[in-house]
Amino acid sequence: MIGELAALGAAICWAVSAVLYKEALLKAKSIPANIVRCVCTSIVLVFCLVVVGKFGVLMDLPLYAVVLASVSGIIGLGLGDTLYMVSLRLIGVARAVPITCTYPLFNLLLAVFLQGEAATLYVVLGAVLIVVGIWLVSREEKEIGISEPQKRILVKGVTSALATAIVWAVSITMINMAVTLSETGSLDRALAINTIRVSVVAVFLIASAPITDRKFSFIKMQKKPLVALVFGGIVALALGWFLLTYSFLYIPESKAVPVSSTSPLFATASGIFLREQVTAKNVAGSIIVVVGIFLIFMI
């Protein structure tokens, strides 16, 4: 039960962080927002390791794990989370989160096509449900009369969310490989790996800022979005990933990942809180996505 509760806690953390990100993105662009979030969270994680006396664990990690964590961070937190913020800004929390949380499906597809795992009837049915759920979530309530600019925004937002899910799937596969190595199979080292993951992408984002954020707007960010991004980063990258990693100590990945993917249910409620246009189709689509994920992994 501890493992399941920890994974559920991760899902709640990621839904809460989506609300904070959405609020920040009303006044900040996606790339500067991601820079601020990752840099501040990496400082907090390093500080926590020093306070609890575990900073030395960083030096004991095998090079293979460090490389996996670093590349996973650049792919998942750098590219993936930037796309995620784009989708949040364009189509809102209630739509973006259910679509991005289909990443377990892409993890499964990687396993089927790259590792030769069998695709059972439940897997096929789950995949169909996820596709139907995405279709419902991404639909406009009144498609007749929608302007071309609105259609382009919707398409761009949904495409960004789907791309996020694919990128996250690759990133999660890599970080799981790093955490489950025999030399890294402890909570202390899992936390150290997550710290490296966030810190490396923070350095990467700052180094690439002259190209991606030429005006260095992340330095001039207003106080309100800055605070939202800092807290969102701590909730998602520090607490959320800690809870998911903690769940791996009690339950297998095949159970932890789908439980952590129930964020759409909490995100739909968050969308109502944010006064987004949440329709019955959006709610039904979110539920169908979650059911599809559970069919794939839990049966």
Query: Mind listing the pLDDT tens digit for each residue in 108-123?
Result: 777 667 656 666 777 7
List, in order, residues 6 or more apart from 215 with CB less than 8 Å away. Answer: none
Span of 27-36, 179-188, 214-223 with lowest mean pLDDT: 179-188
* Pairwise CA distance, residues 105 & 189, whole Å: 28
Q: Helices H, strands E: what count in the chain?
A: 16, 0
Q: Which domain holds residue 99?
A: 2-298
Span of 42-56, 171-185, 207-221, 233-247 with lowest mean pLDDT: 171-185
Question: In the predicted model, is pLDDT for residue 201 greater than 60?
Answer: yes
Of residues 262 and 201, more confidence is placed in: 201
* Arithmetic mean of pLDDT, 28-38: 93
Q: Which residue type occupies 250? A: Y
Number of structural domains (the chain) is 1
Query: Tokens at residue 124, please?
Result: 């096929």
CA dihedral 240, 268, 89, 151 (to 10 degrees): 140
Residue 136's nearest CA partner among 287, 292, 284, 294 is 284
Phi, psi (deg, nearest 5) at residue 251: -135, 155
**Residues of the chain above pLDDT 70, percent:** 86
Indicate the SS3 state at residue 49.
helix
pLDDT at site 231? 94
Q: Which residue type occupies 89? A: R
Cα diameter, the chain: 61
Yes or no: say if 100 and 168 are a contact pair by the CB < 8 Å rule. Answer: yes
Give the pLDDT band of residue 273 (cuts 50, 70, 90): low
Question: In the predicted model, is pLDDT for residue 79 greater than 90?
Answer: yes
pLDDT at site 227? 94
* Pairwise CA distance, residues 166 & 170, whole Å: 7
Query: Tokens at residue 287, please?
Result: 């539920």
Question: In the predicted model, is pLDDT for residue 188 greater than 90?
Answer: no
> Residues, the chain, total?
299
pLDDT at site 234? 93
Question: In the predicted model, is pLDDT for residue 35 greater than 90?
Answer: yes
Give the pLDDT band of residue 141 (cuts 50, 70, 90): low
pLDDT at site 269? 67
Query: Tokens at residue 296, please?
Result: 């794939």
